[in-house]
Amino acid sequence: MIKNVLRIFTLLAAMTIVYFGFEKLGLNIPVINLQTTNAPSLIKTEWTEEKVLMMINDYRQKKGLGVLTPNEKLSMAAKARLAVLMQYEDSLGEITGLTREDAVEMVGYNYSWIGDLAVLGFFRSNDLTAFWTTQENSRQTLEEPNLKEAGIAVVMGGETMSIYALLGAPGKVKKATTRPSSPASASWGGPDLWVAVNNRRVEFGVNPLRQKDELCTIAAIRLNQILDLGELDAHAGFEPTLNREDLKWISEKYNISEFLVSGYSTPQESVAAWENTLGHKKLLSGGEYVWGCIYAQNKFGVAIAAY
């Protein structure tokens, strides 16, 4: 009884966060970002629940699968789950007691199959389904043939968005679920991301980057700045770093670009995020880049590329 009351309280609190806004609560959302000395402007588009569902259905149709219809109860549960993920990163319900299944059942949705998709702080110019397909669990959920309905929650945050989708099939007998979507703890660093970036460059048919110590100096300084902040800084520290008296000669010698990433569980996911974001793909496919250096720690990555 007490456990159920706590779950209801958590659900109501989560819904309150959704309706009254995330930004007012000072929640940090991981993002990916880019700045170059000649950085392209990002195309701003508004994302809605309808747009996300359309993208999911487009992907499923290309795979020969049935389209999903919106379900209001699943949408309510999705809003609560997104609030829990954004505030507590509690994908399993271990902190709040509000599991994915609890959220669905408490809004009165009876299911035979349930799965979810999640992404936090994703650039709005990204290819969303392309990113999800880089994660095996999410890809399996997208391609589950038994799915019939969906509920989606979207929160915009500047250039980024956070999305949570609950996908289900109605029924009284629970047959199957997938593992809840959650970024695992990162245990990778700069060398791992460096290898992943250069491997992808070779796959694109361009030269792997060659490391330059002076570029590593910039990457190390920028990573330390970001770690001190605990979030990406929209490149606020990039130009000031290049303009330091002791470093100015580097930007005079090279054309330098900076690529930032945050919040991904593996180097491969970080590379996939760069690949599917407007402007970022140049790090992986740009033959003009000859030299570079990458520093990474605690899911934050700084890539410096130059020619």
CA dist., res. 12 & res. 77, Å (int): 11
The residue-averaged pLDDT of 196-209 equals: 94
Percent of the chain with pLDDT over 90: 46
Determine which helix (DSSP H) or strand (DSSP E) holds 203, and give its type and residue range: helix 190-203
pLDDT confidence of residue 271: 94
Which sequence spans correspond to the domains of the chain? 49-170, 190-306
State the pLDDT confidence band at 33, using cuts at 50, 70 and 90. very low
State the pLDDT confidence band at 92, using cuts at 50, 70 and 90. confident
Q: Which CATH architecture has domain 190-306?
A: 3-Layer(aba) Sandwich (3.40)
Q: For 95-125, what is each residue's pLDDT tens digit?
A: 777 788 888 988 999 999 999 999 887 766 5
Q: In the predicted model, is pLDDT for residue 212 greater than 70? A: yes
Q: For 245-282, what is each residue's pLDDT tens digit?
A: 999 999 999 999 999 999 888 899 999 999 988 788 99
For residue 292, give the 3-state DSSP assignment: strand
| Cβ within 8 Å of residue 146, ≥6 positions away | 112, 113, 169, 175, 176
Q: In the predicted model, is pLDDT for residue 28 greater than 50? A: no
pLDDT confidence of residue 128: 81
State the pLDDT confidence band at 175, using cuts at 50, 70 and 90. low
285, 204 contact by CB (below 8 A):
yes
State the pLDDT confidence band at 26, using cuts at 50, 70 and 90. very low
What long-range pairs does 80-83 form, CB within 8 A, spacing at least 24? 80/11, 80/14, 80/15, 80/18, 81/14, 81/116, 81/153, 81/164, 81/166, 82/18, 82/118, 82/153, 82/155, 82/162, 82/163, 82/164, 83/13, 83/14, 83/15, 83/17, 83/18, 83/22
The yes-or-no answer to whether 49-170 and 190-306 have a common fold is yes
pTM over 0.85: no
pLDDT confidence of residue 156: 85
Average pLDDT, the chain: 80
The residue-averaged pLDDT of 36-46 equals: 37
Task: Return the CATH number of the domain spanning residue range 49-170.
Answer: 3.40.33.10
Closest CA to 303 of 243, 229, 220: 220
Amino acid identity of residue 142, one-letter, is: L
pLDDT confidence of residue 191: 87
Closest CA to 254 of 210, 297, 296, 220: 210
pLDDT confidence of residue 27: 33
More confident residue, 169 or 87: 169
Q: In the predicted model, is pLDDT for residue 126 greater than 80? A: no
